[in-house]
Structure 1
Amino acid sequence: MPIPFERSHLAAFRDFPSTLYGLVSRYPNARVLELGGGRAPSFPIHDMPDNIASYTVNDIDPSELARASDDYDKACFDVTGDVSAFNGQYDIIFSRTLIEHVADGRKMHRNVRDLLRPGGVAFHMAPTLYALPFVINKLLPETLSTKILYTVFPKRRNNKNKFPAHYSWCYGDRARMETMLKEIGFDQVAIRSFYGHAYFDKFPVIREADRALATMAERKDWSSLGSYAHITAFKPAALPGG
């Protein structure tokens, strides 16, 4: 039995916008921050729900950020660095296939918590360990993994969109991720698991073996073998002692 579509890797990408829009719609005059948006924010600003007050795009590289449309507010900072100038400014912070590239996942999530207003929400989509292609990507030297990726997916060579991946705090295991995020100050955490991927599609024998494993993992709900996750985490509306 194949993986049901709503739990397949395709659904992780398909459902990301609607899930994000649903979160944004909860906040009157919502202030939205996209992490790692650079020159190409994920959504046209006119596609966002009508209740947004601002859509800020972030990047660590000022030259990339300068190429983004002036329709967006811009915030240049390293999400694992000093973000204190922006603390408490946002109702919703989101990222899409960014957090696997962050070397210190704990620091990133702590900073995201601080960037949020009380009651705000973080929403991330990320590839997760221990799906086989991401384990391989983590273990191989970057030069070799880049060469393999561009050989299998030559169109990505033109975009030069292969970045080092660390997979720090990118685990498919829902219980593990929920515990980690709550320990650093989020109070409501929900992880939606997805299974399967397209990385082995050109290699029939490996593809079929990997699909069989992914199908079993989905059926038995072995989230640690999931391939992608939607991570939703709320900051408490009131801090302890506040």
Structure 2
Amino acid sequence: MPTITYSAWEQFPGWSGAPDWIAALVRRHAARHVLEIGAGANPTLPLDRLADLGIAQYTTNDVSADELAKAPPGYETLCADFTDPALVLARQYDFICSRMVNEHVRDGETYFRNIYRALTPGGVTAHAFSTLYALPFLANRLMPEAVSSALLNLFAPRDRHQHDKFRAYYSWSRGPTVRQIRRFERLGFEVLEYRGFFGHRYYEHRLAPLHRAELAKERWLLRHPIPQLTAYATVVLRRPR
């Protein structure tokens, strides 16, 4: 049975905590050949940490050659679409990870099927992502792209050259529901751990009353977890030997 836990959104490792989260998993599973899906211009682990972690090869992947061209020099690069049913890679990896990518995947089943094939037997894959049914992400899924992009500029502005906004689909981007665990298991994965995170900060600076209500909801959900209402999640899967 997988380990299922819940935390507040502040503990979600998809942002500044991602390097330490990925590094800890690499150490735990003694990974040597690492692929980061969708990293493009922003690989999570800096080059100066790779040797200390025992990583022999760190590959950054993206579907866009333009995004890969923005990556710092020194990384292996792989231009490939993991939602392509005909995808064939020249090699396998013992650790595959992503952060803030899965919500942008149109076809989650094909995506994870290709990840399974790209893993060595016994290899591990780990992902940090936003989940569909938090209100801002549900709105992002339903609104026209131009509207959601304008709202992002209002509530969470950022450097669009280095951290662009991409269309979100939320296929298979869910909290640790029974249905989602069974989906992974049907593909052959062993679900090692699944962690859901409640709450978000999108209302904090511009909609203070809604932010207070969101904090109250977050506290209630931490006492009475409903996996369908997470805002973020992490999942760690293994391809059995």
| TM-score normalised by length of structure 2 | 0.88
Give the whole-Å Cα distance in 1 for the aligned partners of 2:95 and 2:68. 20
- The residue number in structure 1 matching 2:21 is 19
Q: 1:123 Cα shift?
A: 0.3
Give the whole-Å Cα distance in 2 for the aligned partners of 1:153 and 1:15. 18
- Size of the aligned set, in residue pairs, is 231
2:238 partner amino acid: F
Contact 2:184 2:191 (8 Å CA) reproduced = no
Single out whichever of 90-99 and 179-188 deviates more from structure 2.
Answer: 179-188
Single out whichever of 172-181 and 10-19 deviates more from structure 2.
Answer: 10-19
Q: Root-mean-square deviation (CA), in Å?
A: 2.0
Give the whole-Å Cα distance in 2 for the aligned partners of 1:42 and 1:27. 17
- The residue number in structure 1 matching 2:211 is 207
Q: Provide the secondary structure at the position in 1 that maps to 2:183.
A: helix
- Identity between Structure 1 and Structure 2 (%): 35
- The residue number in structure 2 matching 1:166 is 169
Q: 1:29 Cα shift?
A: 6.0
Q: 1:15 Cα shift?
A: 4.7
2:219 partner amino acid: T
Contact 1:37 1:57 (8 Å CA) reproduced = yes
Q: 1:153 Cα shift?
A: 2.7
Q: 1:128 Cα shift?
A: 0.8
Q: 1:214 Cα shift?
A: 2.1
Give the structure with the larger helix fraction: 1
Pair 1:148 & 2:151 matched: yes
Alignment of 1:1-242 (within 5 A): 7-13=7-13, 15-28=17-30, 30-48=32-50, 49-81=52-84, 82-86=86-90, 89-156=92-159, 161-201=164-204, 202-237=206-241
Tell me: CA distance 1:175–1:189, structure 2 relative to 1, closer, same or farther (3 Å): farther
Q: 1:159 Cα shift?
A: 5.3
Give the whole-Å Cα distance in 2 for the aligned partners of 1:43 and 1:95. 11
- Which sections of structure 2, spanning at least 5 residues, go unmatched? 1-5
Q: Provide the secondary structure at the position in 2 that maps to 1:52.
A: coil
- Which sections of structure 1, spanning at least 5 residues, go unmatched? 1-5, 238-242
Tell me: CA distance 1:212–1:28, structure 2 relative to 1, closer, same or farther (3 Å): closer
Single out whichever of 179-188 and 116-125 deviates more from structure 2.
Answer: 179-188
Which deviations, in whole Å up to 9, do the C-alpha atoms of 1:93-141 show, x marking residues without a partner?
0001001001001110111111100000110000012111111111111
Contact 2:39 2:62 (8 Å CA) reproduced = yes
Contact 1:38 1:57 (8 Å CA) reproduced = yes
Tell me: CA distance 1:195–1:37, structure 2 relative to 1, closer, same or farther (3 Å): same
Give the whole-Å Cα distance in 2 for the aligned partners of 1:137 and 1:112. 26
Tell me: CA distance 1:62–1:179, structure 2 relative to 1, closer, same or farther (3 Å): same
Q: 1:56 Cα shift?
A: 0.5
Give the whole-Å Cα distance in 2 for the aligned partners of 1:187 and 1:27. 14
Tell me: CA distance 1:207–1:63, structure 2 relative to 1, closer, same or farther (3 Å): same
Q: 1:172 Cα shift?
A: 1.3
Tell me: CA distance 1:219–1:231, structure 2 relative to 1, closer, same or farther (3 Å): same
